[in-house]
Chains A and B, each alone.
Chain A
Amino acid sequence: MPITRDVKTHIRRSPYQAMAATLTMFLTFLVGGVFFLATMTSVMVLGYFEGKPQITVFLTPKAGQLEADNLKAKLESTGKVASTQYVSKEEALTIYRQQNQNDPLLLEMVTADILPASLEVSATDPQYLSELVTAIEGTEGVDEVVYQRDVVDSLLSWTNAIRLVGGTLALLLVIDSLLIIGTVIAMKIALKREEIEILMLVGASPWAIRAPFVLEGGVYGLVGAGLASVILGALIAWLRPYLFSFLGSIPPFGMLLGSLTSPVFLISIAVFIAANLLVGFILGAIGSSIALRRYLK
């Protein structure tokens, strides 16, 4: 395999340049990976909250199914409600027990009577939320309206901020990586100009001459991305208990972070690492190709 042999020789003979290129790639993928994971998390959390009933109407202690049905009919007549769900006092108690099953002290003191019945209302479009809230607040039997738009708005602005900062930083690092790999490869081309000239004279095809350089850039990307993936994987494993307690009640995270050995977690990590390696290789190869286009006509 002359091409892989050439790549090994290229890298071995200029270890510092190879290290510079690999470390830049590593940083790009580490920072890019952190922001990618943060963006994915915030998007999933946002999706979860957006998909949940946006308004929870708590009824007065005396109110029950009848008041809820009246309110439901009133809201449905506006045509702006996607769905409603009545949660009785008993159901509220069941949910409460589930949420606090590990804390018997909290369970002992609570009965169905002290929990309010509620109606969960989902709007067809978030823009109708404030209108619906106004209509609900004037209705008989309504005690309190919890309005999730504030939560969603705040999450949305966080998600956008993470996307903007992460995206900009990752873009700058990608440009930096391309330039560094391009520079390293350009130096190699200059050092090997005589060899390239001889190879061309003895009948090497353009690809045979370019392939070792393209592969070399790809290897820098691959190794950099691989190292970053290992660090990110370790970080996720280390932070898992904390993340699980924080995000575990949201279904995708519950499944993902439930156990380090669950198939879902292992497959997700494998896909993440494979995607990183592939993107790393492609990015490195692009950096080399830029140098080849510029310096090897």
Chain B
Amino acid sequence: MIYFSNVSKYYPGNIPGLIDVTVEIPAGEFVFLIGPSGSGKTTFLRLLIRDLLPSSGVITIENADISKFTPSNIHILRRKVGIVFQDFKLLLDRTVYENIAMVLEILGKPERDIEKGVMNVLDLVGLPDKRNLFPMQLSAGEMQRTSIARAIVGGPKILLADEPTGNLDPDTAWGIMDILKEVNDLGTTVIVASHNADIVNKMKKRTLTIKGGGVVRDEARGHYHLEKHEKKAVTKGGKHDANH
């Protein structure tokens, strides 16, 4: 499904974002990306939507090299990959319904299908009665639910979430994670960049630990005990840690 092959990304000034990362994520998997701020989690996600191009290496999604997409056809890739941000990125002058319907309008769906599609995802995220409210009338958790609804309404094969619970209280954060898990249960590959140790530890999903641009740990049922494992990786002479 998703394959990173020796992918490195350097920002201008030779600042490393990711260094020689090789990772495979099969279809339908739920994966956490964890690591300290600036470790490369967001770079990983931005590379996946081709918001950035790798400096070296190849990224494929469903066996297609995504660096081959150009600005004129990048939308084909973006329709396969939904994304949720920590700051929601909702259009404040449009209602919940309009924010979500926008995706289906872009896909050229007829009005009847749009209404059906939007109501389905609003049911999934638990906001059917908030459809006519504007984002400023919602709580942070409701805004994030709207953002998830928008990301999944087009039926993407992959859902990326960059710190989706970063601005939320623990209870609301769990509500969001439940929705992401439900989306994953419906067959969508879900990749979540998170700082939330409690969530990562309790959900027991595959966890990639990124530090200094390298994947220092890849566990099938991950834990957020970064310090201890970092030390282990360094004493083993892990090549990624040698870079920082």
Closest to A197 in B: B89
Does A61 reach chain B (CB closer than 8 Å)? Answer: no
Whether A206 contacts B75 by the Cβ 8 Å rule is: yes
Chain B: interface residue count, which band? Answer: 20 to 34
Residue of A nearest to B85 (CB): A201
Closest chain-B Cβ to A144's Cβ sits at a distance in Å of 75
A236-270, CB < 8 A from B:
none
Minimum CB distance partner of B80 in chain A: A203
A3's nearest neighbour on chain B, judged by CB, is: B105
Give min CB distance, A198 to chain B, whole Å: 5
User: How many Å lie between the Cα of A200 and that of B49 in the bound state?
Assistant: 10
Could you tell me if A202 and B106 are in contact, using CB atoms closer than 8 angstroms?
yes
Q: Check B89 against A203 for contact (C-beta < 8 Å).
A: no
Range of interface residues on chain A? 10 to 19
Q: Is the interface of A mostly helix, strand, loop or mixed?
A: helix
Query: Which of B71, B76, B78 lies in contact with A201, CB distance below 8 A?
Result: B78
What is the 8 Å Cβ interface bit string for chain B, positions 54-79, against chain A (1 contact, 0 not)? 00000000000000000110111011
Known: A203-B79, A204-B75, A206-B72. A198 touches B106 (CB 8 A): no
* Cα separation A8 to B72 with both chains bound (whole Å): 26
Determine the chain A residues whose CB is within 8 A of the CB of B74 once the complex forms.
Answer: 200
A205 to B79, CA, bound (A): 10
Complex contacts, B79 vs chain A, CB 8 Å: 203
A206→B71 contact, CB < 8 A: yes
Contact in complex: A201, B49 (CB < 8 Å)? yes
A2 contacts the other chain (CB 8 A): yes
| Measured CA separation A195–B94 after assembly (Å) | 11
Contact code string A1-41 (vs B, CB < 8 Å = 1, else 0): 01000000000000000000000000000000000000000
- Per the bound structure, the CA–CA distance linking A114 and B38 in Å amounts to 108
**Distance from A293 Cβ to chain B, minimum over Cβ atoms (Å):** 13
Q: B103 at the A/B interface (Cβ < 8 Å)?
A: yes
The interface residues of chain A lying within 8 Å CB-to-CB of B83 are: 201
Instruction: For the complex, give the distance between the alpha carbons of A206 and B70 in Å.
Output: 11
Given A204-B75, A204-B106; 7 other pairs, CB 8 A cutoff: A194-B91, A198-B89, A202-B82, A203-B75, A203-B78, A205-B106, A208-B75
Closest 9 CB pairs of A and B: A203-B79, A203-B78, A2-B105, A205-B75, A204-B106, A203-B75, A202-B103, A198-B89, A208-B106
